Chain A
Amino acid sequence: MLPPDEPTAEIACTVNGEAIHTQVPLRRSLVDWLRHDVGLTGSHVGCEHGVCGACHVRVDGQVVRGCLMLAVQADGATVETIEGARDPLTLALQDAFFHHAALQCGFCTPGMILQAAELLAQHPAPTRAEVREALSGNYCRCTGYQPIVDAVMAVSAILPAK
């Protein structure tokens, strides 16, 4: 329930393919709105100041920090979260993350996968160092990163070269 006088604005956008038309509190971040109001809890909140990457979502096809965009800014946008990302790269990465144990607690995983998918879409054949650099804005406390790099490389290996 919203506090009685919280300022809101109307937005219309598409989230995971579904049209949404609603009021959002002005000061609610995109990731908070997706999680608490839309009910899509796959994107996580780890810092709220742009450092950890747990909050990654796709807005108009680009991966962004969901904690640094306001929900009201999603007006007119196409938003995708890990739950709705059904592109072949994301699916392949999810599978590879699972098999390489590229996650332990899994809190970083959705943000990591979306970032990796964007990397592979732009550079289908990165080196390990390039993968590490591309993921350098995603914090993972559990895995030590190596199995994540392995998983991304494994998907890269089955992609047709660009």
Chain B
Amino acid sequence: MKPARFDYARPATLAEALALLAKPDTAVLAGGQSLMPMMNLRVARPARLVDINRLPLGEIALGNGVLRIGALARHAAVLASPLVAQAAPLLPQALAQVAHAAIRNRGTLGGSLSLADPAAELPACMLALDATLVAASAARGERRIAASAFFHGLYSTALEPDELLLRAELPAAAPGWRYAFLELARRHGDFAMAGLALALGPGAARLALCGVEAGQRRQPAAEAALAAGDLPAAIAALGTAEAMDSPDLPAAQRVHLAQVLLRRAFQQIGAAHAAA
């Protein structure tokens, strides 16, 4: 189980990195916690790796009501960050359930979002937190993509092959909002059988699932029902999710689990919310 051959470059500047990414068949190497297993199994065989670990993209900063998390911020760093705990309390809830300590020491926010694994926790969080993702390419410069427009489907995003994700920008948690991230996995740290990121505000809700649909997205019908305080309608709305189907995890089971999670999440924060 050794990777096929590849070329390797470790740019020191963003400009250099973007220039390298303009070449065909090139993959960004961030934490490597998803890419390296795929390369070792020869499921992925990029001709070139651009190792971005020397780029200054790991910063976590809070300013003007916006939390900025660099693409290279490690899961462990985000999980431990007091700024994140304060401005995006959903993220530590989710990250505690992402993989295991040693993987969190390397894995990055940018890697997880760029990979867009349907069962990954962080894309759902970005959706529920209404994040804006900032990417750059040598040819077209920087652009800003709303999370809701970023995730396109199974392992597919709005990123062009020559683009590098630079950071996520999240509106800091506003007063009156509450957040819950819940998931069901067979074992600690496994990708979720079903997971749910929920943000509930005064008369508003944002909800995204992971492990259920092939492409992660907001669930507008359920959100509308939640905003109106109608949990049964919200649960029913999830019934129309176009869930993935696999022999060990049929679509109906994923949907059922998502509905269970929504009830639990609402009990956890919705009741408190109604009381507040």
Direct contact between the two chains A and B in their complex (CB within 8 A)? yes
Residues of A at the B interface (CB closer than 8 Å) are 7, 9, 26-27, 29, 32, 48-50, 53, 56, 62-65, 67-70, 72-73, 75, 115, 118-119, 132-134, 136-138
A27 and B8 CA atoms in complex are apart in Å by 9
7 A-B pairs, CB-CB below 8 angstroms? A26-B6, A49-B41, A63-B102, A68-B106, A69-B36, A73-B32, A134-B101
A49 B100 Cβ-Cβ under 8 A: no
Which of B5, B10, B32 is the most central at the interface, judged by chain A CB atoms within 10 Å of its CB? B32
- Chain B: how many interface residues by the 8 Å CB criterion? 28
Task: Establish whether residues B101 and A63, one from each chain, have CB atoms under 8 Å apart when the complex forms.
Answer: yes
Q: Which of A27, A56, A64, A65 has the most CB of B within 10 A?
A: A65
Mask, B1-42, CB within 8 Å of A = 1, is 111111110100000000000000000000011001100110
Q: Are A49 and B188 also in contact (CB < 8 A) when A65-B106, A73-B51 are?
A: no
B99 contact set on A, CB distance < 8 A: 137
Q: Would you give the shortest CB distance from B219 to chain A, in whole angstroms?
A: 30
B103 within 8 A of A: yes
Q: Does B53 contact A (CB under 8 A)?
A: yes
CB-nearest residue of chain A to B37: A49
The 8 Å CB contact of B105, one of A27, A63, A119, A138, is: A63
B140 within 8 A of A: no
**Which residue on chain A has the smallest CB distance to residue B41?**
A49
* Contact (Cβ within 8 A) A7 B40: no
